[in-house]
């Protein structure tokens, strides 16, 4: 991860809380700056309350990229993608995170806490931040996404 990628915005709901805390420890151990948008406990909560502020931070440039986590990954993905400047990608295997960056210039990695191991989550995060956008033929497709 280079200095252009930090701080990393990160959030979860209660179902993703344990994985988020694990990733926060990993980010800290690797001296990677982050902004934690919550949740701050495993108590039942609503993912949009955390995914919207994360998306706003990425959209505004406060954080260049983000990681959003919930049980299936679907809820946070749908929520962040409501924001015009966000391209959130639901990835449950590391290779998907690489392709989401490479082909789609994704700026929010969405992880399904109930369907991904901690080891694969770390690999996905590493690939998401290490992989550049290819541009070229993929850019014209991105240009067609905006209504």
> Tokens 């694969």, residue?
120
1-5, 9-13, 18-22, 54-58: lowest mean pLDDT where? 1-5
Helix axes 118-130, 94-104, angle to 10 degrees: 20
Q: Which of 106, 116, 43, 98 is nearest to 80 (CA)?
A: 106
> Any idea which residues carry the catalytic annotation?
70, 103
Q: What is the pLDDT of residues 50-73, one digit of tens each?
A: 999 999 999 999 999 999 999 999
In 1-147, beta strands by DSSP E: 8-12, 34-36, 65-70, 88-90, 108-112
Residue ranges per structural domain of the chain:
3-143
Q: What percent of the chain has pLDDT over 90?
A: 85
6-44: buried (b, 16+ CB within 10 Å) or exposed (e) per residue?
bbbbbbbbbbbbebbeebbeebeeeebebbbbbbeeeee
What's residue 88's pLDDT?
97
32 — pLDDT class (breaks 50, 70, 90): very high
Q: What is the pLDDT of residues 106-130, one digit of tens each?
A: 999 999 999 999 999 999 999 999 9
What's residue 47's pLDDT?
97
CATH domain 3-143 topology: Ribose 5-phosphate Isomerase B; Chain: A, (3.40.1400)
């Amino acid at each position: 991860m280079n200095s252009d990628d930090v701080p990393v915005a990160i959030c979860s709901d209660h179902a993703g809380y344990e994985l988020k805390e694990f990733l926060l420890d990993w980010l800290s151990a690797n001296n990677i700056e982050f902004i934690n948008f919550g949740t701050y406990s495993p108590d039942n909560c609503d993912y949009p309350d955390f995914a919207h502020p994360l998306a706003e931070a990425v959209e505004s440039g406060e954080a260049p990229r983000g990681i959003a986590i919930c049980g299936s990954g679907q809820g946070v993905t749908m929520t962040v993608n409501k924001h015009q400047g966000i391209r959130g990608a639901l990835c449950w295997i590391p290779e998907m995170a690489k392709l989401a960056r490479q082909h789609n210039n994704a700026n929010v990695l969405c992880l399904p806490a109930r369907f991904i191991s901690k080891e694969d989550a770390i690999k996905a995060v590493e690939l998401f931040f290490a992989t550049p956008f290819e541009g070229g033929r993929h850019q014209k497709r991105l240009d067609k996404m905006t209504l």
